[in-house]
Amino acid sequence: MAGMAETSRPRGGDHGTDRTDRTPARRKAPQARHAAGPAADPSDAHLEHARDGKLKLNRPKRGLIDETEAQQIAEDRARLQQQGIGGPLDGRMLSNPAATDGDRPQVRPQAEGWKQQTTEDGRPLLQFKQPRVAQPKTHLADLTLAERQAKVAELGLPAFRAKQLSTHYFTHFTSDPDRMTDLPKDAREKLVAEMMPPLLTEVRRLTTDNGDTIKFLWRLFDGALVESVLMRYPGRVTLCVSSQAGCGMNCPFCATGQNGLTRNMSTAEIVEQVVRANEVIAEGALGGLRKDGGHNAERVTNIVFMGMGEPLANYKRVIASVRRMVDPAPEGLGMSARHITVSTVGLVPAINRLAEEGIPVTFALSLHAPDDELRDELIPVNSRWKADEAIDAAYNYFVKTGRRVSIEYALIKDMNDHAWRADLLGKKLNARGRGWVHVNPIPLNPTPGSIWTSSEPDVTDEFINRLEAAGIPTTLRDTRGKEIDGACGQLAAEGDEEPDGAVTEAGGHTGAGTSGTIDIRG
């Protein structure tokens, strides 16, 4: 799960995907922001002068990248450097000349321990629509405040009771009628039953030794299992939420995708993960509190849609849940949209649609390979929308919103961590402009005997150095939850082995996924 990683080592960048810059420079219009730093070179092909004399970004230009040529140049340079010839890269020396691609193998993606679902022609099956299955009963979190008031009126009660219910749910984080003493005693049970039907039943809870990370396994009303992960950091609390039960993107590395898509989660089921997390925090169950007298967040401050499922394949409900998160209390949770990150493997039409929503969320593209040859195998949806199309859509999100985009890139040993791929990624991103994107390389948790394991430290450093040499802000992520198998999908894949409400402490669970502490997309 990408959401389980936070910024630990800034390398030309300044924040992770769930952190937002608050400096005045970040509030400037996109064109003004690019007038400084690397983007201020009018000779750059992607820049031109606007009428006001300031530099502006052109639209992306296609045909700038020849992947075969880029790979060949990188391989030739690597071989020469191994022979002691050359060495400088854009004015910088390689951190380790031995960490090149010359003799390293190319590992191909493959599912381990399970078989990918395929179509009749042998291609990985993609599920964009959920099966015809029952949906949960309507919850107040599915409705706007006006819709709640209308429903309460249908129940024969004054409309203002809807606001009272909303306050209990979104401010006090409770669905317990006994705690709602401002409601008529004879009407509480009925009102709560109609407006707040049960959504999530806690099946299992895993907690790290220091208590700063908690992973939840939830059962939905129909028995489907989903997960979310709660993480405390200095001054903030991040929750990684699921948006689907299962996933239809069929990526070979993903524990969530093993059984395909069960169904989309409802708006309220997504929101309920946040409310329940806030309840846990209020009870004092989330540890990792600061001992230096600094600020501790008392509720979830940051959301990352990097749990189970492909968020943009459940577009309407995900957007509705985001609106409920940012709506001011008591209509919603009153969170900042800038602290909400929506991630995707590259559903291009949905990315462009998101850019038009007018909600300034942080957008993250899970790329993991800049070349289509590898990405076709690593991310099956790449057969529908190629890497350049996904990058174009990400750039369009920046143009429309002014919000810097994150590129998620899980570094997998000998699979996608070759230096020439860093060069190619840098060229592709710079072809669309400067200052619009930063890259988050993510180390996998090493898994003995698996092809899905972390890159060597020197290879990781070289990959980052190449991106930095290209002027790409890059931040290596730290990992969280290693001892509790932090990747989403691992608990759900195992199934329910304990009774409802059982709590398993850290160390009592054996991982079942290939991706360790982070699940690349699932």
Residues in binding site for S-adenosyl-L-methionine: 309-310, 343, 366-368, 445
Structure tokens at 69: 């040529």
CA 145, distance to chain mean position in Å, is 29
Amino acid at site 87: G
Are residues 286 and 237 in contact, defined by beta-carbon separation less than 8 angstroms?
yes
- In degrees, to the nearest 5, what angle opens at C-alpha 155 toward C-alphas 154 and 158? 85
Structure tokens at 136: 């949960």
Task: Show contacts of 17-23: CB within 8 Å, 24+ apart.
Answer: 17/304, 17/341, 17/343, 17/362, 17/364, 17/406, 17/408, 17/440, 18/236, 18/238, 18/302, 18/303, 18/304, 18/339, 18/341, 18/362, 19/236, 19/302, 20/336, 20/338, 20/339, 20/362
Pairing of strands 437-443, 405-411: parallel
Q: What is the Cα–Cα distance from 431 to 454, expressed in whole angstroms?
A: 29
Task: Please name the residue that has the structure tokens 């459940």.
Answer: 314
CA contacts within 13 A on the Cβ side of 333:
31
How many angstroms separate the Cα of 41 from the Cα of each of 45, 46, 60, 165?
9, 10, 17, 56
Q: What is the Cα–Cα distance from 301 to 236, expressed in whole angstroms?
A: 6
Active site residue 240: no
Please tell me which residue in 67, 227, 331, 468 is annotated as part of the active site.
227
Best CA proximity match to 298, nearest among 286, 310, 312: 286
Neighbours of 90 (CB within 10 A): 11
Q: Which helix (H) or strand (E) holds 316?
A: helix 315-326
Active site residue 488: yes
Q: What is the Cα–Cα distance from 44 to 34, expressed in whole angstroms?
A: 12
Structure tokens at 459: 């290879």
Q: What is the Cα–Cα distance from 341 to 154, expressed in whole angstroms?
A: 37
Residue partners of 117: CB distance under 8 A and separation at least 6: 124, 125, 250, 260
Structure tokens at 91: 């004015």
Please tell me which residue in 67, 483, 488, 494 is annotated as part of the active site.
488
Q: Output the known binding site.
A: 247, 251, 254, 309-310, 343, 366-368, 445
202 beta partners: 218
Structure tokens at 38: 């690397």
Cite the active site residues: 227, 488
